[in-house]
Structure 1
């Protein structure tokens, strides 16, 4: 009784083991290999994990747009769109918009069974680079451009990055030597320096920006109406919240639309209808629509016909239209009508001398009257 038995189990073993029990059958047909990095992802939602597994199981060419997935699953468009954005943010999906030769814009979707470096990781790396500048690294998935060398001026270490074009001839200097600007040929004036864009964008982005339409008769009233229209677009779609500089840049294009006849409500419908999903650059989309969907100018209208002013007749005081004052039509024709009536009264005989024409003799209707008829 006083001896401790150390061989006894600490607690009784349950008859049914805890947790899940797998019964695995070897798959030989219709199966998909999915990594645990997706199936057991700690940041993705359950809907995003299941949608990612479904997309990886589909053959190439299958439709995976939001409307097709909504028709396939009971979830709505909002939840499916959110799951697609999660997969895209973590590197399992990429969606790019491409323009076909016919002009139609389609979305090209690429699925990755092994996630590439996601936007979340790039954001974390950029944040780490800002916190620790000495530890900044180059993104391996975005190689350096071969047509430009990015250098930083030694005199201004915190200034903007400048782009210097490489020389065509064989390199004569070491890579770590400072790059000297090319010497212009003799007799050729140096090209004027192009000022950088005020908005902070690169020259390539400025070249790709479409040329916005301009109004024929600019005015403060039209610009104010256009600016109010652009600033209020986020009330119809929260994604169309524009910066002040974008509103000022796009306002003349909206004024050009209003000059061609559409009402502000028609312009608003044209800018907010059928927006893509996801919408990353609302200002660029509005600039594209304002340029490509510009309505034609209104056809030239004939001037309204000239109408004579109203005049008061000098004879009867009736109102009538005429270039100069005078008599109306009835007063102008009244003397002629009165003269004709007087002439008719003069030519006709007096009433007391007038007699009715002789009535023709009537035919006798009986034999007796026939026999007693007067001789002809």
Structure 2
């Protein structure tokens, strides 16, 4: 089996045109006849995209129209996790290859459509109008041949009626060419995605603690310096640690545990990790937890208590009336006042 493979490889190398290079890759290009996708070098050799983003773009480009490409659907197809796939999709969206559009349907239903463009730079170029082919001229029909008159020999003396020659059909004249109105001036379409050279929005500032005490600064500096023990790719310089320490101090000020901060900063980094300080700056800013609520914020407000006045029975007429204390009803009080008797007034 090994001999057949080596023989096939040797035969393929012999068919490579030109001298073989002494170093580097040697391409054996076999033309595809089915199940292939054309990928531009602007994507395959993109200097700012990670290999995960490039591979994911090639996978999306090879899928048929209407295939689900959500994060969970792509994670079911690939070996990468959902976090890495989400980061790769954000890279493709930042460079114009991917765009998510919100579309409102009837009945107040909103859906998200994902659009993938294999050449985002071509969307911003002005498109040339399609040249219309001139209308073909009508072809004149061929003339019908006219039969020659038949001549009868004289000795036979048979009267032959004279044949009337058929008139040749008239050839219709070619119509006069009508003037085609000039095409309207071309207006370039608005780009669906921003070009790769579009200015990027300014980065948000790093979080700052309300008061950077010496203890917070020392704890934040120690946490950043200790990251390389847990993840060697996060080896930072002294200048990077000095710039990122206030943001880590803000996390510590908000009662975030050091182990939680370490896991959040170093979990699932992109491969290869070229700029660890930039990644830490982004995660410290975008994933900042809110301050813990105070004791008063967690107290559930109580409803105001409704006081119901109880029923009392009048001492004279036994009529029920509402009063906080026993006594006489209103009618009995008025009667007693008219007679000059003592009245027990209900409070």
TM-score for the superposition, normalised by structure 2? 0.34
| Larger RCO, structure (CA 8 Å, separation 6 or more) | 2
- Superposition TM-score, scaled by structure 1 size: 0.31
